[in-house]
Amino acid sequence: MSAMSMAIYGLCLALLLGGVWRRRNRHGRFEVIFLVLGAAMGTAIGLGAVMPRAQLVPMLSILDAAVVLAMLALWAHYHSGRARWIGVIGLVKCGWALWQQGMPAPHWNGYTAVINGGFILQLIVAGGWADGLAARADRLLRQLRARLAGELGNVA
């Protein structure tokens, strides 16, 4: 395993543990989303250690499809917006993997960059960090709009 792979797995593990710590409820229990993503991460690492690249891509596609189905169930039962977005990101990852499988000479580094980036984005959404970023962006846009409205109102 390369140093880059170890760094990516370390980042994913840190985001997973940080999300578990951040999103636990008042009883100290964590959410099912983290069980699904943690199991997917552990399975992907295990598959990557024992399978060649040609067999790994279809197996990771099946794993992403399983995550999408689990998030669909969580979204349908709990009406979780985070589960919905994690499922959408998983669908994009499945589509990317299928597109890469259909190419005559798939580019391994491009494939892994999108798949790993998508998983990191799933962990960011699951941990609730995307909510804070969206709220901050909304606040900045409101301030900018108020400032522009104030300056344009003084032009008359």
What is the residue whose two structure tokens read 């409205």?
A: 149
Residue 154: predicted pLDDT: 61
Residue 26: predicted pLDDT: 65
Residue range 146-153: mean pLDDT, rounded: 78
Residue 29: predicted pLDDT: 66
**What does the domain layout of the chain look like in residue ranges?**
3-130
SS3 120: helix
Both tokens of 28, joined, read: 């100290």
The tens digit of pLDDT for each residue in 59-98 reads 999 999 999 999 999 999 888 888 999 999 999 999 998 8
User: Which band of pLDDT confidence, cut at 50, 70 and 90, is reported for residue 106?
Assistant: confident
Q: Cβ of 79: how many Cβ atoms within 10 Å? A: 9
Residue 122 has pLDDT above 90, yes or no: yes
Residue range 32-61: mean pLDDT, rounded: 89
| Radius of gyration over every alpha carbon of the chain, rounded to an integer in angstroms | 19
Hey, what amino acid is at 6?
Answer: M
Task: Please state, in angstroms and as integers, the Cα–Cα distance from residue 150 to each residue in 1, 137, 140, 141, 153, following that order.
Answer: 57, 20, 15, 14, 5
Choose among 4, 96, 5, 106: nearest CA to 54: 106
Q: Is the dihedral of CA 48, 91, 34, 121 positive or negative?
A: positive
Residue 4 has pLDDT above 80, yes or no: yes
Residue 52 has pLDDT above 60, yes or no: yes
Phi, psi of 29 (to 5 degrees): -90, 150
Residue of higher predicted confidence among 140 and 131: 140
Alpha carbon distance 91, 68 (integer Å): 7
- Mean of all residue pLDDT scores within the chain: 86
Residue range 36-57: mean pLDDT, rounded: 89
